[in-house]
Amino acid sequence: MKSLPDAAALLEQTLLARRDLLGDVRPNVSREALQRFTSVRTAPQAAAPATAPGRNADTLAAIQEEVRTCRLCEHLAASRTQTVFGVGNPQADLMFVGEAPGADEDRLGEPFVGRAGELLTKIIQAMGLSRDDVYIANVLKCRPDMPKGAPGNRPPTPQEMERCLPYLRRQIALIRPRVLVALGKTAMVGLVGADEPMGAMRGRWFSFEGIPLLPTYHPSYLLRNGAPAEKRKVWEDMLLVMEKLGLTISEKQRGFFRSAA
């Protein structure tokens, strides 16, 4: 079966041939009318999504706007105060990824701002960097909902993280950090599906979209278990990150918490 534009061309040819045969008898259909015939009935092309993953036109601002209005998890969209997109240097070499916003982040709209966030800031500063040098985000952009009146936070489910991961993927594709650090086991589950105890994963390099990924304990773990030996483990992981980034490491930095090892 011919397409509509082909059918119109055939009709025009037939009419022109009839005019040739009949001399003065002109076809009763103009070229403009034929064009209208084809254009009116040609289905419009479906518009491509403005910010589909991997498109050059993608921007952090565009993703952030999509996240702001996202309702893919209806229960989280209903319970959140606001979405928590990410913060820091959009051209950072180093990116930290946590699991999800907690109550403080949900209130303020920025990741890692509570006590755990303060500790993360101290860790970053001990590396000789500032929060403005790195980028910080979570796998999940909405706070996992809690029963009404219940205190604390809950970890996101694997299903929630899977649904939200495309946003983080696009953030990472734009920022293109040289090193990713996953803060906590849940972030590792969300990023690469690695469901092992953190004690077995930390200190080992993984890969996310070809980017070196190092897991380490979530700062909230250090708040619960602040033994110097545990702090030293996180610090050893940060030394690995600094080496990978080619950052200068002083003797003083190498020695942090060494007596606890």
Shortest gap between Cβ of 106 and ligand SF4 (angstroms)? 11
Shortest gap between Cβ of 31 and ligand SF4 (angstroms)? 51
Q: Cβ closer to ligand SF4: 141 or 218?
A: 141
Q: Name the DSSP letter for residue 222.
A: H
Q: How many residues does the chain have?
A: 261
Q: Name the DSSP letter for residue 3.
A: -
Closest C-alpha to 93, from 235, 249, 246, 250: 246
Number of residues that bind ligand SF4 (CB under 6 A): 14
Shortest gap between Cβ of 97 and ligand SF4 (angstroms)? 14
Closest C-alpha to 90, from 213, 210, 172: 172
The stretch among 32-40, 134-142, 184-192, 243-251 that binds ligand SF4 (CB under 6 A) is 134-142
Q: Cβ closer to ligand SF4: 58 or 160?
A: 160
Shortest gap between Cβ of 80 and ligand SF4 (angstroms)? 7
Position 141 contacts ligand SF4 (CB under 6 A): yes
Q: Cβ closer to ligand SF4: 70 or 108?
A: 70
Between residue 83 and residue 102, which ones bind ligand SF4 under the rule CB under 6 A?
Answer: 83
Between residue 177 and residue 206, which ones bind ligand SF4 under the rule CB under 6 A?
Answer: none
Q: Give first-to-last CA distance, the chain, whole Å.
A: 77
Shortest gap between Cβ of 81 and ligand SF4 (angstroms)? 12
Segments in the chain forming alpha helices (H): 4-22, 31-41, 60-68, 74-79, 103-108, 115-126, 158-175, 185-192, 198-201, 219-224, 228-245, 251-255
The owner of tokens 């200190």 is: 203
What is the 3-class SS of 83-151, one letter each residue?
CCCCEECCCCCEEEEECCCCHHHHHHCCCCCCHHHHHHHHHHHHCCCCCCCCEEEECCCCCCCCCCCCC
Q: Cβ closer to ligand SF4: 71 or 115?
A: 71
CA distance 190 to 137: 13
Q: Cβ closer to ligand SF4: 15 or 72?
A: 72
Position 165 contacts ligand SF4 (CB under 6 A): no
Between residue 20 and residue 79, which ones bind ligand SF4 under the rule CB under 6 A?
Answer: 67, 70-73, 76-77
The stretch among 6-14, 52-60, 139-147, 243-251 that binds ligand SF4 (CB under 6 A) is 139-147
CA distance 240 to 55: 33
Shortest gap between Cβ of 109 and ligand SF4 (angstroms)? 13
Which residues, 6 or more positions from 30, have their beta carbon under 8 angstroms from its beta carbon? none
Shortest gap between Cβ of 2 and ligand SF4 (angstroms)? 45
Binding-site ranges for ligand SF4 (CB under 6 A): 67, 70-73, 76-77, 83, 140-142, 160, 163-164
